[in-house]
Amino acid sequence: MAEVTLVDIEKTFRDNTTVIPNLNLHIEEGSFTVLVGPSGCGKSTLLRMIAGLETVTRGSITIGGRDVTDVEASQRDIAMVFQSYALFPHMTVARNIDFGMRLAKLPADQRQAKVAEAARLLHLEELLDRKPAELSGGQRQRVAIGRAIVRNPGVFLFDEPLSNLDAALRTKMRVELAELHQRLDTTMIYVTHDQIEAMTLADCIVVMNAGRIEQVGSPMTLYQRPETLFVAGFIGSPK
Ligand code: ADP
Ligand code: MG
């Protein structure tokens, strides 16, 4: 597991829109940190900069004490799970999970053991020979998480991973994600616009609004002592 530190981060896109003017954030090693905020406030952009999928205009990013500001995505100690599962349709579940390790040319026995372990953690053992089209939405999302797990990253990044699932499945997957965080003993940074998801999963919530951080704190702190009206409204406190 690893900590993540963002110092004086600005993001201005090529069309000169500044989405994030100046953001500072320290994410604790081993935490389950949830970024919340309305659609368009810059959550995905922030996550993509941590992942290295988007450059920063200004500022620096360290992961596990290492400055990765100019390090490409594949060389950062992270794995990212998206809202759309982005599985390879022609490959089996096992192949999909194995794909990154094959690219990295890890030995076959090591890869097999890791696929088996991920399958066990994610309840995919019976499904390893199926193709993505033969899976439910929740099962596909588990495969996407499996692909991230086998990389053994210090930091997991999730961008609204459950938003395509129905309500019952979302609740179930929430429980599984919390268990996964405990078992893997890893840092998770999780983006959602769903307050309930944030309140139940997070040990730390970062409330964003228009590219800025409104407040950082535990679910209880944000609920009981919101510092701004925006936070109070967003977290749903009676204040
Ligand atoms: P969120 O994930 O919180 O919904 P995003 O990070 O996706 O928000 O987007 C934040 C803002 O940045 C939005 O106004 C969006 O239109 C803008 N944006 C995102 N990507 C680009 C891009 N490649 N070029 C210009 N603007 C962008
Ligand atoms: Mg987004």
The model's pLDDT over 51-87, given as tens digits with 9 standing for 90+, comes to 999 999 999 999 999 999 999 998 999 999 987 778 9
Residue nearest to atom 14 of ligand 1 (CA): 40
Residues around ligand 2, an ion, CB closer than 5 A: 44
pTM over 0.90, yes/no: yes
pLDDT in tens, 155-180: 999 999 988 888 888 888 899 899 99
For the CA of 159, the nearest ligand: 2
Angle at 28 between CA 195 and CA 31, to 5 degrees: 50
Instruction: Return the ligand 1 atom nearest residue 208 CA.
Output: 3
- Ligand 1, atom 12, lies closest to the CA of 19
Q: 212 CA distance to ligand 1 centroid (A)? A: 13
Residue 98's contacts (CB-CB under 8 Å, 6 or more residues apart) are 111, 115, 150
Cβ(15) – ligand 1 distance below 6 Å: yes
85-101 per-position pLDDT tens digit: 789 999 999 999 999 89
